[in-house]
Structure 1
Amino acid sequence: MWEVSSGQTPFNNYEHDYDLAMKIVNGMRPKIRTEIPSKYKELMMQCWDADPLKRPKAITLRKEFLKMHKEIYSDNVNEFNTLEYNNSSQISSSSLNLSSSSKLHSLSTSKLHQFENLPEPRNATEEEQEAFHSKPYNFEIPNNIIDLNSPKDQEELIKDLNRLELDK
């Protein structure tokens, strides 16, 4: 459902390895696009439940999809006929961030991973989901910063620049 709504394969920016498997077991799910209809989003999130017994059955999905389809094409004013549906139809190939053909091939090729002793799957909290999707930043300050107010660093910089000029 996520792939249909986003036009991308899940976790296409991640290496498909043990670390990703552990994140998924610990509740990581792909980030949901904001412009998809809320009924579709709710159904997708139910399908992602860590407990298989809480996931909707195929017949339930079929019924819900048929209901959504009828709502889309009915004359009634509803969520699907308003801005939310219009936004979801704006997905274009330029916004899909399509991967290179080699990456697409590697993602579409089946692989069998043997991961042992995985913990019990669980659902992540909203805060944990946000943390999964936040980009990690390195706030470490390197020790080799040039201080242009220091006469010693100024001399070193001038020497380096002069050396570069001589090499040309």
Structure 2
Amino acid sequence: MSVIREDLIYTTLNKARALTDHNIYNDFHKQTEFCKQTILADESLTKDEKSEAIRILTATYDRGKLVYNEGIRGVCEICNQKCLATLYCEYCMKTLDPNVIVEWIPYNNLKSIKYLTKGGYSEIYTTEWVDGGYDEWDSN
């Protein structure tokens, strides 16, 4: 295996994202595919570096699919569930290590939403989670 130049990989990923025309590639699925094709066409990366760049891009894409709960579902070879993630099965992960899974809490499961402050590029609110957190994971 050749030496992986991580700085070049991240530079290429950032360049691919910067080149993405959001008027043409108007959802994160199309944007990811454009970035993938841009990486594959990049002549400065080795084959191994392209593979690593696409792995990083796919991991980011998987998180997006889970957050937005959209995308093409594949069937997990282990649990036979239809999962969104490409690099792993979110259902198997919930069973094996529930602390690493980010779950989207629907707005209607929140109450007493109050503005707190503005920070960075967002406004920050406090709220109460109607169902509350969990202390122990029930995998059933």
Q: TM-score range by the shorter chain?
A: under 0.3
- Counting helix residues as a fraction of each chain, which structure ranks higher? 1
What is the TM-score normalised by the length of structure 2? 0.27
What is the TM-score normalised by the length of structure 1? 0.24
| Larger relative contact order, structure 1 or 2 (CA cutoff 8 Å, min sep 6) | 1
- Counting strand residues as a fraction of each chain, which structure ranks higher? 2
